[in-house]
Amino acid sequence: MLYTKPLSAAILGCVLHVLVFVRGEYHTHTPKMLRGYVVFIFAVFLIEREYSTSTSYAWNAILSTASHLLGLFGSITMYRICFHPLRAFPGPRSLKVSKLFHVSRVLNGQNHVFLEKIRREYGSFVRTGPSEVTVYDPAIFHAISGPGTTCIKSAWYDMLHPLVAINSIREKDGYASRRRMWDQSFKVIALKRDGPTILTYANKLLKHIETTLGEPIIINEWLSRFSYAVMSDLAFARPYGSLDDEQLDRNVAMIHRGTEVLGVVSPAPWLAQLLFSIPGVTYRWNRMLKWASDNMKERIHISSWLIEAAQSNDGLVDTNGLYGDALAVAIAGSHSTAATLTFLLYELSRNAGTQHKLRLELSKIAQPLDVDALTDLPNLNACIDETLRLYPILLTAGARQTKETGITISGRYIPPWTTIIAPRYSIGRLEACFERASEFIPERWTEKPEMVKNSRAHNPFSIGRHTCPGRYLGLTEVRIVVALLLSRFEVTLAPAKRNETEVVDGMKDNFTVHPGQLKLIFRPL
C-alpha cells in the first residue's frame, strides 16, 4: 500500500512514453509541456496536502513526482538503447540516449570539428542522436535532397517557430507556390538591379581599403558590412550611403550575435524552443526576430522584391511568412557571401601564384567592369568552388528527415522518421573524393580533373527543390569584389602567428559558417 502511488506514477510515466511521446513530434511544444508538468506537480502537492492522512504529504508528493519522471525517462532510455530501429548503428552511447550530450560537446560552437572526430572514430554511418544518423557518404546529397527524394526537412527547420520563412517549410505541400515567388523575385533583380547595386557597394569597400593601404585590416568586418548593405538595398529597399554607417554596423553585429546561439542549440531543436521561450535567456536571438518583424512592419508600404513577392498572393500578406522571409534573407543573403569572400581572400593571401593567375585572367575583361563577362572565368570560378569545398556555408546544417518508407544510401537502409545529417565540411574533405583533400588546389576544377574523384561530394548550393535561390546573386557579389580587389591590390596575411590560422581555428558552425578573425594587408600593385 505504501508504494502504490509512486508505482502508479512510474507506470504512468512508461505509458505516456510508449503511447504518446514515442509517436509524433513535440519539439515545438516543449515550453508548453514543461509548464504543464510544473502545474501537474503543484496539483499533486496540493491534493496530497488536502487528502493525505499522513503528515509527510510533501515527501509523498516528491516521491510520486520522482517516480513518474524515473518511469518516463527510464522507459525512454531503455527504448533508445535496446529497441530503437537505429540500435545497430555505431555511435557514442551517450548521444544515442539524448541530444543533450551532443549539446554539451559543442558549447564552443564547433559542431563541424566534433562531427569530423566522430567520423574518424565510427566510420561513414554514425548514430549521433536517439533518432539521428550522420552520413559521411557523397551519395547522401542526392538521396536526401535530389529530385524524387522522399525526405523532408528535419525538425531543426521549425527553429523560427511561429515565423515561417521560405526555408522553414518542411513538407512539399505549400512550398512550390512560395518558392515560385522567390524565384520570380530573384529573376527580376538579377536582370535589372544586381550588378549596379553590387558595384556601388563594392566601390565603397574599395574606397575604405584604399585608406588602409599597407596596414592590417580586419577584413571580415568590412565584407560583412558590404554584403549586408547589398542585401538590405535589394531586399528591403534600404540603401546605405557608406559602409561606415553606424546603423549598418549595429545590424550586422545584431545578426551575427543573434545567430551565435544556433552553434550550441542546433543539435537539440526542442532545447532551442525551450530556451527561446524563457525571457532573457536568448535575448540576442529574440531581439533579432523582433528586428526582422519590426523592419518589415515599417517597410510594408515600400517597394522591394521581398515585399512584392509576399503581396502577390492576391494582395494579402501573410505576416508570419513575410517576417520569417525577412530574417531568412537577412541571414542567408549576407552571411553566406561575406563568409565565402573571407575564406577566398584568406586562401589567396597565402598563395601569390593563384593571385597572379587570376589577375591575368581578369586583365582580359573589358573596363568599366563587365559584370556578365565575370561569369565565365574558369580560374575565378575554380577558386570559388575550391573555397566552398573547404569552407561550405553550411558546415553541418541542412538536416533532412525520412518519412514513412525510409531510404537506402549506398546499400545502407535508414529507417522511417530518422533525422539525417550530411556534414558538407567532412564530406568535402574526404580523401576518397578529392586528392590532397585538405589543400586549396583550384586547378582540380580546371586542368587537373583527376584530382576530383567523386564530384557528388561537392554540393555548395544544395540540390533539388530547396536549392539556393540566391546562388547567382551571391556568386556575382563574390566575383565582383574579387575582381575589383585583385586588379588593384596585392593581398597578404598580416604578419602574426595567430593570424595565419585564426580564421579557420576560430570558425563557428552557427547554422551558417562564421569565420574566425582574419587580418589582411592590401598593397597597391
Binding residues for ligand HEM (CB under 6 A): 166-167, 179, 231, 328-329, 332-333, 336-337, 340, 388, 393-394, 398, 460-462, 466, 468-470, 473-474
Q: How far is the CB of 478 from ligand HEM (least distance, A)?
A: 6
The answer to whether the CB of 288 falls within 8 A of the CB of 259 is: yes
Give least dist CB 525 to ligand HEM, A.
Answer: 26
For residue 361, what are the CA distances in angstroms to 373, 377, 442, 479? Answer: 11, 7, 14, 12
Q: In sequence order, what DSSP letters do the residues of 235-267 get, joined into one string?
A: HH----S-TT-HHHHHHHHHHHHHHHTHHHHTT
Residue 468 assigned ligand-binding role: yes
Give the separation between CA 455 and CA 434, rounded to whole angstroms. 8
Closer to ligand HEM by Cβ: residue 71 or 333: 333
- Beta carbon nearer to ligand HEM, 129 or 398: 398
Q: Are 326 and 295 in contact (CB under 8 A)?
A: yes
Q: And the C-alpha cell for 213? A: 593601404
- The least CB distance from residue 209 to ligand HEM, in Å, is 21
Closest C-alpha to 154, from 418, 376, 359, 473: 418
- Closest distance between ligand HEM and the C-beta of residue 298, in Å? 20
Taking the C-alpha atoms of residue 379 and residue 361, their distance in angstroms, rounded to an integer, is: 7
Q: How far is CA 65 from CA 8, 40, 421, 452, in A?
A: 11, 9, 36, 58
Alpha carbons 514 and 118: distance in angstroms, whole number? 22
The residue among 308 and 490 lying less far from ligand HEM, judged by its C-beta, is 308
Nearest distance in Å: CB 337, ligand HEM: 5
Residue among 142 and 435 whose Cβ is closer to ligand HEM = 142
Half-sphere exposure of 516 (CA within 13 A, CB side): 13
Strand ranges, E, within 78-204: 125-129, 132-135, 152-153
Closest residue to ligand HEM in the complex (CB): 470
Q: Which one, 209 or 309, has the nearer CB to ligand HEM?
A: 309
Closest separation between CB of residue 448 and ligand HEM, Å?
23
Please, what is the minimum distance in Å from the beta carbon of residue 480 to ligand HEM? 13
Cβ 12 to ligand HEM, closest distance in Å? 39
Decide whether 52 or 312 has the Cβ nearer to ligand HEM. 312
Q: Which is nearer to ligand HEM, 130 or 474 (CB)?
A: 474
**Which is nearer to ligand HEM, 12 or 317 (by Cβ)?**
317
What's the chain's Rg over C-alpha atoms? 26
**Longest CA–CA separation in the chain, Å:** 93
d(CA 418, CA 405): 10
Which residues participate in the annotated binding site for heme? Answer: 468
Which residues participate in the annotated binding site? Answer: 468
